[in-house]
Structure 1
Amino acid sequence: MSPAVRTSKSQPKKPKASSSPKRAPRRRLPPAERRIQIVAAAKALFAAGGLERVTMRNIARRVGITQAAIYQHFEGKEAVLFAIAEDFFSDLIADSEKMAAEATDPVDWLTRAMRSYVEVGFSHPDEYRLVFMTNVPGFERHGRHRSVPGQTLPIQPSKGAIAFGYLQDQVRDLIARGQIRPGDPELVAETIWAAGHGLVSLMITHADFPWSREALIETQIRILLGGLLPEGSPMRPGLQPGKAPKA
């Protein structure tokens, strides 16, 4: 055998290149970002399969973390659902603050508030179903806007209670000014809320029905204001059939 051949045999073999790409290290998110990611995953699971799909295991799997890790951010499923509700009410509060800055008078604010509620509900149908149309044991007590016999509200009010407080305070001011009929501010505010809820829940539950959405919203506002405004109110001439005061 020639020396050249022996030399080639003694050379070390080069290692084969790996065909599988190296997995990039998982980026550790700050707690605030991870919480946002968890809530977004829970929203997506609820929209895709209802409440049964929203489990701590499924949320963790969708986010890409262990089930044990998710408990570092939320103590349980109810806490995640409460965070979704808080996000929904944050939008209502933001709209209330915007309306307060744009309204020309308290009645104008109330008119805008009625419209804003249904519009926010229409734009967040999945969150609305969860907050107002789904029975979750242990969840409602976190978002209650007032106490019931034998129970008290938490020291730190929920954003749902704050959002309802905007409406109730405005109703109380309108009654004090004599701009709407006398009544219990809380009861009047709840009646306005119930009317808006009926419209939103009906439309998002039966979305395929050929609703005349804008006409229904305006007619509902007109009817509500017609019952709230006292005789002789300067706003009453604007309540022609099918037409609500412009917001």
Structure 2
Amino acid sequence: MPKVLDEMDKKILEVSRELFLTKGIRETEMKDIAKKTGIGRSTLYRHFTGKELIAFYIAKDILSSLKDSIEGTLIEQKDLQNGFQKLEKGMDLFAEKLISSREEIRFLDEFDQYFTDSYPESEEASEYIQFNKNKDMGIYRMFLEGMKDGSIKKVENPEFAADVLVNAAFGIAQRVIPRREHYIEEHGYCEEMLKETVKLMLQGIKS
């Protein structure tokens, strides 16, 4: 059962998010979180036993925000005629959101590298795993609609295909967005790579 967050929990998470996004998970210590929150370390440990467990909440919140950002905008798009057009617009909006969320993408990249081995045995980790098992239903619904109206090629597992689209976009974003200046210096482009990746993937499923 998910932990019910009280006001102090929420304050700690807010402060932790700011520190994680500016300093990173590795460079942030529990004493930093306690000091910035204005509480003692013993109080902090009564709410969260480690920064790693706090990181799961931050990651889940960021992922939810990034994925949910396209839903409201798509509802307003009255000119979209079929499932593919909706999926195309949805993925375009998703890519734009990733591009404008540099600090959050940098955090997610560090989070993935931080937990390359087994997750800790904790309620926070279990909630995060369950969260990720619940696929991005917005993209999935668009995929199903496109298969039904014939604008998207039929695939055996549309839920998996939709998951691939979302995670491929995340993967490219984590690779290029945090290193924007370096990528431009080295290759002459940055955001264009993410947009082109999305475009190529969508062309592959268009009927």
Closer, same or farther in 2 for the Cα pair 1:123/1:73, shift >3 Å? farther
Percent identity for Structure 1 against Structure 2: 21
CA–CA separation in structure 2 for the residues paired with 1:78 and 1:171: 35
Q: Secondary structure at the match of 2:33?
A: helix
Aligned 8 A contact 2:57 2:128 in 1: no
1:80 aligns with 2:61: no
Q: Unaligned 5+ residue runs, structure 2?
A: none
What residue in structure 2 maps to residue 143 of structure 1?
Answer: 128
CA distance change for structure 1 residues 72 and 169 in 2, over 3 Å: closer, same or farther?
farther
Please identify the structure whose Cα radius of gyration is greater. 1
Partner residue of 2:166 out of 193, 199, 206 = 193
CA distance in 2, matches of 1:55, 1:43: 13
Partner Cα distance (2:176, 2:50) in 1? 31
Equivalence for 1:14: none
CA contact (8 A) 2:95 2:195 kept: no
Worse-superposed segment, 160-169 or 77-86: 160-169
Match of 1:42 in 2: 16
Compute the displacement of 1:220 (Å): 2.9
Equivalenced residues, count:
187
Residues in 2 aligned to 1:35 and 1:119: alpha-carbon distance in whole angstroms: 31
Partner in structure 1 of residue 145 of structure 2 = 173
TM-score, normalised via structure 2 length: 0.73
3-state SS of 1:223 partner = helix
User: How big is the shift at 1:73?
Assistant: 3.6
Letter in 1 for 2:103: D
- With over 3 angstroms needed to count, the CA separation of the structure-2 counterparts of 1:194 and 1:87, relative to structure 1, is closer
Give 2:113's aligned residue. Answer: 134
The answer for the alignment partner of 1:25 in structure 2 is none
What displacement does 1:222 show? 2.9
Runs of 4+ in 1 over 6 A off after TM superposition: none
Secondary structure at the aligned position of 2:26 is classed as helix
Higher RCO structure (Cα 8 Å, ≥6 apart): 2
AA aligned to 1:134 is Q
Cα offsets for 1:178-237 (capped at 9, x unmatched)? 22111111221132123312331222242212253564454333322221111xxxxxxx
Secondary structure of the structure 2 residue equivalent to 1:182: coil
Between the aligned partners of 2:65 and 2:101, the Cα distance in structure 1 is: 10
The corresponding residue for 2:25 is 51
- Give 1:202's aligned residue: 175
After superposition, give the CA deviation of every residue in 1:2-59 in whole Å (9 maximum; x if it has no partner). Answer: xxxxxxxxxxxxxxxxxxxxxxxxxxxx943x33432232233323433223333321
| Aligned partner letter, 1:54 | T
Matches within 5 A, 1:220-239: 220-230=197-207
Partner of 1:119: 96
What letter corresponds to residue 172 of structure 2 in structure 1? L
Equivalent residue of 1:207, what SS?
helix
Structure 2: distance between partners of 1:217 and 1:50: 24
Tell whether the 8 Å contact from 1:43 to 1:127 is kept in structure 2 after alignment.
no
1:143 is aligned with what amino acid? Y
**Which structure shows the higher helix fraction?**
2
Structure 1 residue ranges without an equivalent (≥5): 1-29, 145-153, 231-247
Structure 1 CA distance, aligned partners of 2:154 and 2:33?
Answer: 49
